[in-house]
Amino acid sequence: MAVSPSLATGRGRGLRIRIAPEAAVAAAFLAVRAAVWALGLLVALAVPADRALE
């Protein structure tokens, strides 16, 4: 992740952090992977609970 000189010196307008494209792709991939894992965990926990109610 590259930090702009204006951010490093504390001057400039706003927060400017540029992220390399490959880092953005990796972050998106990990976010999707975590969402799929969480959904799988939810289903794995919900199925036995549903069967216990029957």
How crowded is the C-beta side of 47, counted as CA atoms within 13 Å? 5
Which residues have CB under 8 Å from 13's CB, separation 6+?
6
pLDDT for the residue 4: 56
Q: How far is the C-alpha of 36 from the C-alpha of 47, rounded, in Å?
A: 16
Please give the residue that has the higher pLDDT: either 51 or 20.
20
Domain parsing of the chain, residue ranges: 21-54
Q: Is 7 exposed, middle or buried (0-12, 13-18, 19+ CB in 10 A)?
A: middle
19, two tokens: 């992220």
pTM: 0.52
Find residue 3's DSSP bridge partners: 17
Question: Which pLDDT tens digit goes with each residue over 1-46?
Answer: 555 555 555 555 566 667 788 988 999 999 999 999 999 999 888 8
